[in-house]
Amino acid sequence: MFLSNFLYFTYIFCNIFIATATECNKGDTYPFTKIGKKYYYVTVGQKMNWFEAVHFCRSYNSDLAMIESRSEMQALNWYLMENDYDSYYFWSSYHDQATEGKFVAISTGRLMAYQNWNFGEPNNDSNEDCVDLKATRSGMRMNDNKCNAQLYPICELRNPPKSQDDCDTIPTKCVIRKMMEGYRQSTNIFHCKE
């Protein structure tokens, strides 16, 4: 009797664990990397214009990067430099297509909160309306660029996990919690009166 209960418990526990791990991985942050306090997806797989980059990021439930503080820009610049992305240009969420000189984020419509323009920028040379980012040793710089230029996207996760400060891998915490729920459910099965 004990062996059959043990095998039954093991079977239920393993099924709950596998189902839970699959369910929790849907909430994983892959392919996003935590950089500073935000999650970003930096890719140099394919160049695209600004509009394509907006669509690309949205396909990952994210938006083009919105740099809102000096510390965010420094963290992202450090990451790009450390990973040898300093020779690439990336799109940001900001543009001034509606009103020249008034840069807003495509995702929120809010004015650009932090600016670190390259020397002489923004200059609207030949109708440049979209903002790109470039990592340098002296810090990340912004430039207004033509929206149809071919650059790489940096996507920012819209709704990062609430437990991002608690652990590095979100699914692990979820799986352990679900394992405990499965254990409690299985102990109820063994105490039934049938």
Query: Does residue 133 share a domain with residue 38?
Result: yes
C-alpha closest to that of 150 among 66, 89, 105, 95? 89
Q: What's the total number of domains in the chain?
A: 2
Instruction: Provide the CATH number for the domain around residue 37.
Output: 3.10.100.10
* Residue whose pair of structure tokens reads 């600016």 in the numeric block: 115
Domain check: are 23 and 35 in the same one? no
Residues 126 and 72 in one domain: yes
In this structure, are residues 38 and 161 in contact, taking their beta carbons and an 8 Å threshold?
Answer: no
176 in the same domain as 117: no
**Which of 152-189 are b and which e, b meaning 16 or more Cβ less than 10 Å from the residue's Cβ?**
bbbbbbeebbeeeeeeeebbeebbeebeeebeeebeee
Alpha carbon distance 174, 62 (integer Å)? 22
pLDDT value for 98: 97
* pTM, entire model: 0.70
Are residues 61 and 118 located together in one domain of the fold?
yes
If asked whether residues 66 and 38 sit together in one domain, one would say yes
35 and 24 both lie in a single domain = no
Identify whether residues 62 and 21 lie together within a single domain.
no
* pLDDT of res. 164: 45
- Which pLDDT does position 162 carry in this prediction? 75
User: Are 149 and 184 found together in one domain?
Assistant: no
Pair (96, 137) in one structural domain? yes
Q: Is the Cβ–Cβ distance between 154 and 65 less than 8 Å?
A: yes
pLDDT at 183: 52
9 exposure class (CB count in 10 Å sphere: 0-12, 13-18, 19+): middle
Whole-number Å distance between alpha carbons of 4 and 103? 68
Q: How many other β-carbons are positioned within 10 Å of the β-carbon of residue 41?
A: 19
pLDDT by residue for the chain (194 residues), tens only, comes to 555 554 454 444 444 444 433 334 445 678 999 999 999 999 999 999 999 999 999 999 999 999 999 999 999 999 999 999 999 999 999 999 999 999 999 999 999 999 999 999 999 999 999 999 999 999 999 999 999 999 999 999 998 887 645 444 434 445 455 555 555 555 555 555 44
Q: Are residues 92 and 111 in the same domain?
A: yes
Same domain? For 138 and 101 the reply is yes
Residue 22's domain comprises 1-28+169-194
